[in-house]
Structure 1
Amino acid sequence: MTRRRLLVTGAAALAAPAILPRSAFSQQAKTIKIGGAVPLSGPVAYWGHSTAQGFIDGAAVINEAGGVMIGGEPHMLEVISYDTKGEVADSRAATMRLVEQDQCKYVFSQAAASNVGMLQVTEPAGVLSIVACWGYLDLFGKDYPLHFRAEMSDYEQGFAYIPFMQEKYGKDALKTAAFIGPNDQDGTDCHFSYKRLMDYYGITQKAAEFYNWEDTDFYPIVAKTIADRPDFIVTSPSPPGITASIIKAARELGYTGPISSPAASETKTILEVAGEHADGVILPVTNVEPSTDTQKAIEKRFMERFGSFNALAGNYSWWIYSLKAAWEAAGTAEDTRKVAEALAAVELEDTYVGKVKWAGKNSFGVDRQGVYDCFTTTIDKGVAKVEDVRFPALPADY
């Protein structure tokens, strides 16, 4: 496991990444440790690095501004991350180290296998977790009150991007759909959420195909998918590289319908891999055109701190600020259950993804699902642009 720490304060917070000794903090300041059990290597490392970057940057900004104020006392933030390789066993080991050795009461994670391994440790230990993942539906809800899912699944974001697609292409042009996803729990649970969404909008499923993470040739699975001529295809939860390969294969095989990827959230790879075939692509929750002062500042800091910026990392940048609001509202960072109740009530208005709140009480028994403005980017004829922004119009029973 790879250990990464962030102890940043003063002017260094606005410069390149810095690692400072504990003495850099005021002797009076206390520390809140946040642990990352994320895939930093392997097929979903892109997601893991994006998640970690949000916490690293946010911790630097918060520390620079004086830290988290609890009971009139400043608390500095320390971020510690270990590589889970996207495996359950590695994630469990990483989380145990974070909780038992590093004494973290707050842990973030990414992708189904890492989250499953993490939850085997965090919930029994009374540790609050905040994650990006749509799989593992049986491990989410009222029986896991310390567990927050900060990324919208196919279902939540669908109440923004499906209406947009119907407006763009016409309802009559989108009566059938097909699903392509990974052959694991993440893929099957995402298919469940996607199917639930399609049923809500009266869209008939034509096909559902599942690939293995080690696959590199997507022509056979795409050929099977388009054989039934679905009006559009949804690839979930597929990272940018796989999404791009699916798009390229589909276009070369003659498929012309829209292809939506609720998980790719990045255009650079898709444009590079799919090339001239990058057309008719719908990327929900993908803000490739930062427009507000907050969004532009996040992009600038990420470029300076990490040397690159992608919309997915921007999406994850609000998590740490919601925790800050919860710690200050609860008046504690020690009592994680009190913090969890405060966190569920947090609403943010000015983040990289616009307005943010926690919802899902009717569906899951507790408000633990993050919901936010859905910036939908399209790629048409090789040109990517944000074409729609709207808050998901979730059903009343959600």
Structure 2
Amino acid sequence: MKVILVDDERLALEYLERQLLKFDNIEIVGLFSDPLVAREEILRKDVDAVFLDISLPEINGIELADQLLGFKPQLNIVFVTAYNEYAIKAFELNAIDYIVKPTRAERLTKTVDRIRKLQHSIVEDEAVEADHDLRLHLLKQVSVELPKGQFTLLQWRTSKAQELFLFLLQHRGQLVRKSVLIDLLWPEYESDKVYSQLYTAVYHIRKTLQPYGERFQISNTTEGYILNMNNVILDIVEWEDKLTQLPRINEEFIDEYVETMKLYTGDYLQEFDYWWTESERQRLKGMWLFTSYSIADWYQQQQLIDQAIICYVNICNQYPLEEEAHFSLMKMYASMDRHSMVEKQFNLLLNSLQEEVSVSPSNHISEWYELWAKKTIMQN
């Protein structure tokens, strides 16, 4: 294992060097007090791990780690810090490899063992062959579909890292300014501490995405970050592309429409309440609703009533507050003299609206139902 040490305290560098040389198969290929010189050497040399002091002149150690990982995502970085463990947790660094000065032999042993395991382990249920497309699901639950059909959840070290990744993903291929990310995720932090939070979160993201190789690339610029993807299929993109490429609904393509609509398994990032997802969520939901209503309407025009009912029921199941779907079912049941189903559908709508938003059905629906009920009573 080739290792570089970076610390502006020379005595600390030499002490850590002596400690590490006690381990087998560790080669110290550089000791640096100047972080900028260290950066050039780390990028130039074949290095497996960097032991990096957090408090450095000219550049923060976490920022330096972020820059290095932008070019070498497989690099193992261990932070060396004078902070006690409580302070480290306050800065959300407890999930990153770190050593508190002065270094203890048993703690250093754990760190070295961990690096070696990371170097040699290939986790079968996460490792993805480079020549296969990776499918990332964003509808309903966020998950990764591996080539053999298994699903796995992305495991995030912190909630901030998770939100940051999803925000970059929503703006994939675009430069997202650091100032925008800071205002979004850490508006309450002081300016001298907030960049450490950002760099730490990006570090966490890169570690989470490491098993997927070059598929996810986060480029760091002076102004911000860009997330690019290679051989990654997003379910939202796949669904929208298939839908928009279909011609108008007709007998030839109706089955393909139905199958395509099945790919929409839930709302975009449904399990998260991030305010910034709402616009995209509503856009995709609107596409699904418009197409669902169009399919149901086509079935009605073709007198395929059972299929139309299935479509409207599906809309009601997906979005219980979608009044027009309930109303369409009520009218269809009424035309079929299925009186109990009309009552059941109206009550289902009434209860859903009362429980969720404490309102009654729209006037035109309530008035239609009252008129229908009177006619039904008179006929009986």
**What's the TM-score, normalizing by structure 2?**
0.23
Which of the pair is proportionally richer in strand? 1
- Larger relative contact order, structure 1 or 2 (CA cutoff 8 Å, min sep 6): 1
Higher-helix-fraction structure: 2
